[in-house]
């Protein structure tokens, strides 16, 4: 991983990459509007690598997502967008063959993929569906969750029907702030029936595997804003990852990132895709990034030196804490490491 690489000339995160896979919410936009620097940075990146988009948001079709991205200034076709409903239908086809009736909890993006896969859509448990598929949409109501609970009341190992969730993101960034995501809605059904859904989207492998195959990736880089879905998912399929601090996860989350959810690169915004990425060096337990230096001594995290760059201080702090093998919650961490000047919705 880049954070612990040996001494070499600084490389940008894009060096050697032939395919860039980007999350959307919190990376490209928050709500309808583009995040600062995202569009220009991604258009520049597309000059040297294939650019595709992966989204757990099941509310919209791939075509509508492409239209939105195009309106923001990106060059995108529907085929460039991989959605969690698409991944869900690939899973569904292995379990329940079309043209079975599927109870859909979600919006147009999910309904469109269910129908394209050859299934019949219902919104009522009274239609004896063969499975339930659940995804986020702003219009999902208590009555929709209740229908799912009614359809899933019999456990699957006792003859009940399958339940696939497009994703379980707990939150979703919006222009006004952070709102509840599909994970909260899936959890509501789980609480009612005591069953767990099979998940198709990030951080599970199917959505990444589809993207890698679709774009013919040999050396891919995934860009996300969440450790528990984006970075964990990229790690599970063995590709490098960027955590950009323009969405959900903040410096405090980076410092606490567990093994398997640690990004290859930490960026303040997407302009840094094109900048040389500084190397972390270690000497006598001191981790240094461009003059920002941090060490862990016993239960204390100590800032040895500052360079004036908050992102470099965060990178050094993350390297020191991760290398210590000590959970961050038992460490005394200086508030300075938690400083958060980075843009967020």
Q: Can you give the residue ranges of every domain in the chain?
A: 16-56+203-274, 85-186, 281-338
Question: Which CATH superfamily hosts domain 85-186?
Answer: HAD superfamily/HAD-like (3.40.50.1000)
Tell me: the pLDDT tens digits for 61-103? 999 999 999 999 999 999 999 999 999 998 999 999 999 999 9
The b/e string for 187-206 (b: 16+ C-beta within 10 A; e otherwise) is: ebbbeebebebbbbbbbbeb
Q: Do domains 16-56+203-274 and 85-186 have the same CATH topology?
A: yes
Alpha-carbon gap, residue 107 to 339, rounded angstroms:
38
What's the distance, Cα to Cα, between the start and end of the chain in Å?
Answer: 29
Alpha-carbon gap, residue 87 to 166, rounded angstroms:
7
Place of tokens 């009274």: 126
Selecting from 3.40.50.2300, 3.40.50.1000, 1.10.10.60, 3.40.50.1970, what CATH number does the domain 16-56+203-274 have? 3.40.50.1000
Q: 116 vs 3, which has greater pLDDT?
A: 116
Catalytic sites, residue numbers: 23, 25
pLDDT of 60 strictly over 90: no
* Residue 242 host element (H or E): strand 240-244
Place of tokens 């949409």: 137
Q: How confident is the model at residue 2 (pLDDT cuts 50, 70, 90)?
A: low
Contact 210, 87 (CB under 8 A): yes
DSSP 3-state assignment of 73? Answer: coil
pLDDT of 5 strictly over 50: no
Instruction: Supply the pLDDT for residue 7.
Output: 52
Alpha-carbon gap, residue 244 to 137, rounded angstroms:
25
pTM: 0.86
Instruction: Supply the pLDDT for residue 9.
Output: 59
């Amino acid at each position: 991983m880049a954070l612990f690489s040996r001494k070499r000339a600084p490389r940008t995160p894009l060096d050697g990459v032939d395919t860039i896979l980007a999350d959307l919410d919190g990376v490209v936009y928050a709500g309808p509007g583009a995040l600062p620097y995202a569009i220009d940075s991604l258009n520049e990146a597309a000059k040297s690598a294939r650019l595709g988009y992966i989204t757990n948001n099941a509310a919209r079709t791939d075509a509508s997502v492409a239209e939105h991205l195009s309106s923001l200034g990106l060059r995108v076709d529907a085929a460039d967008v991989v959605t969690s409903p698409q991944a869900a239908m690939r899973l569904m086809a292995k379990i329940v063959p079309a043209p079975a009736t599927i109870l859909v909890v979600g919006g147009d993006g999910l309904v469109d993929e269910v129908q394209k896969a050859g299934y019949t859509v219902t919104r009522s448990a009274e239609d004896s569906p063969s499975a339930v598929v659940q995804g986020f949409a702003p219009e999902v109501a208590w009555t929709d969750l209740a229908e799912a609970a009614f359809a899933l009341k019999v456990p699957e190992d006792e003859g009940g029907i399958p339940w696939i969730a497009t994703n379980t993101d707990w939150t979703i960034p919006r222009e006004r702030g952070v709102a509840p995501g599909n994970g909260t809605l899936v959890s509501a059904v789980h609480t009612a029936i005591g069953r767990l859904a099979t998940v198709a989207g990030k951080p599970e492998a199917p959505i990444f595997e589809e993207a890698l195959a679709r774009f013919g990736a040999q050396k891919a880089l995934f860009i996300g804003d969440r450790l528990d879905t984006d970075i964990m998912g990229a790690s599970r399929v063995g590709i490098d990852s960027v955590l950009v601090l323009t969405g959900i996860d903040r410096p405090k989350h980076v410092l606490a990132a567990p093994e398997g959810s640690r990004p290859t690169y930490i960026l303040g915004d997407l302009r840094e895709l094109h900048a040389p990425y500084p190397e972390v060096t270690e000497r006598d337990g001191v981790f240094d990034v461009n003059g920002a230096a941090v060490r862990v001594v016993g239960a204390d995290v100590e800032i040895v030196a500052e360079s004036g760059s908050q992102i470099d201080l965060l990178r050094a702090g993350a390297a020191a804490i991760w290398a210590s093998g000590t959970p961050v919650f038992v460490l005394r961490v200086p508030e300075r490491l938690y400083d958060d000047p980075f843009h967020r919705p």
